[in-house]
């Protein structure tokens, strides 16, 4: 299983110049559409579980340790992409009478009452920095929000602290301030489009303002 260790940073008009001056090299540009799913009662996201379909690929993210227990600027989430594994994990929370589902198709979605609650498109520019294994992404979401991310993917059981240290080192190289905590795309999307659910997620400390 993969663990995503990530730190977001503010993206401004100077960010591209700052990356260039730090020696970061553009390695790719892509565009993708994300759809996030939950029950109408938000059973998943109220447990900090984020079920996403990006183009045709499914992914479920959930925290390695409850994020409400950490005050860190970085986050650690497990990521599962295998559809049968996602279905099993979702079953921990949402009752499903059928077993052995191998495909997260429309009939599964409607049986477990999952509906799309957020949908947006992102243009992502990815960079690397020499000698660092940290991926740097600059995201422009179509609802008018830009954010940067420093990200390392490790295998479950590998040293999370070493990954956090690498991310901090990269942040220092880029001149990012140590205590800067920045909202993700979903925070901003929910605040604008589903303010009641956003307020609920803040109140249970799943999201931070
Ligand atoms: C994990 C999570 C959410 C799902 C979206 O995750 P994120 O990594 O922000 O999206 P994206 O598009 O960068 O995915 P990638 O391409 O890296 O797979 S929505 C909210 N969370 C939790 C969360 C949190 N509690 N705090 C912060 C700063 N970010 C995310």
Instruction: Tell whether the torsion through CA atoms of 92, 6, 208 and 179 is positive or negative.
Output: positive
Please tell me if the CB atom of residue 38 comes closer than 6 angstroms to any atom of ligand 1: no
Ligand 1 near 184 CB (within 6 A): yes
Atom number in ligand 1 closest to CA 6? 8
Task: Name the residue ranges covered by the structural domains of the chain.
Answer: 2-203
Half-sphere exposure of 31 (CA within 13 A, CB side): 4
Nearest protein CA to atom 24 of ligand 1, as residue: 207
- The whole-number pLDDT of residue 99 equals 76
Question: Is there an atom of ligand 1 within 6 Å of 190 CB?
Answer: no
191 C-beta closer than 6 A to ligand 1: no
Q: What pLDDT score does 166 carry? A: 92
Cα(199) to ligand 1 centroid in Å equals 17
What pLDDT score does 68 carry?
Answer: 56
Per-residue confidence (pLDDT) for residue 106, from 0 to 100: 94
Handedness of CA 9, 11, 16, 18 (dihedral sign): negative
The whole-number pLDDT of residue 131 equals 78
Q: Which of ligand 1's atoms lies nearest the C-alpha of 124?
A: 16
pLDDT of residue 67: 65
HEC assignment per residue over the chain: CEEEEEEEEECCCCHHHHHHHCCCEEEEEEEEEEEEEECCCCCCHHHCCEEEEECCEEEEEEECCCHHHCCCCEEEEEEECCHHHHHHHHHCCCCCCCCCCCCCCHHHHHHCCCEEEEEEEEEEEEEECCCCCCEEEEEEECCCEEEEEEEEEEECCCCHHHHHHHHHHHHHHCCCCCCCCCCCHHHHHHHHHCHHHHHHHHHCCCCCC
pLDDT at residue 178, rounded to an integer: 61
Residues of the chain with pLDDT under 50: none
- Measure Cα distances from 177 to 1, 34, 37 in Å: 31, 29, 34
**Distance of CA 130 from the midpoint of ligand 1 (Å):** 25
CATH topology of domain 2-203: Hypothetical Protein Pfu-838710-001 (2.40.320)
* ipTM, interface predicted TM-score of the complex: 0.95
Report pLDDT for 2. 93
In this prediction, residue 110 carries a pLDDT of 93
7 lines ligand 1 (CB under 6 A): no
């Amino acid at each position: 299983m993969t663990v995503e260790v990530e730190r977001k940073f503010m993206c401004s008009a100077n960010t591209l110049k700052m990356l260039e001056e730090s020696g970061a090299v553009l390695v790719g540009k892509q565009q993708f559409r994300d759809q996030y799913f939950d029950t109408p009662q938000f059973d998943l996201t109220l447990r900090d579980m984020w079920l996403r379909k990006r183009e045709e690929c499914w992914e479920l993210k959930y925290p390695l340790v409850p994020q409400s227990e950490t005050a860190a600027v970085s986050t650690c989430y497990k990521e599962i992409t295998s559809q049968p594994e996602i279905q099993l994990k979702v079953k921990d929370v949402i009752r499903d009478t059928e077993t052995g589902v191998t495909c997260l198709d429309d009939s599964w979605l409607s049986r477990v009452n999952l509906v799309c609650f957020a949908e947006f498109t992102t243009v992502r520019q990815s960079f690397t920095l020499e000698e660092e294994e940290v991926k740097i992404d600059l995201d422009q979401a179509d609802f008018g929000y830009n954010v940067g991310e420093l990200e390392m993917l490790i295998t479950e059981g590998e040293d999370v602290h070493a990954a956090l240290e690498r991310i901090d080192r990269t942040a220092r190289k880029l001149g990012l301030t140590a205590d800067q905590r920045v909202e993700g795309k979903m925070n901003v999307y929910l605040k604008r489009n589903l303010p009641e659910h956003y307020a609920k997620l803040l109140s249970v400390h799943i999201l931070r303002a």
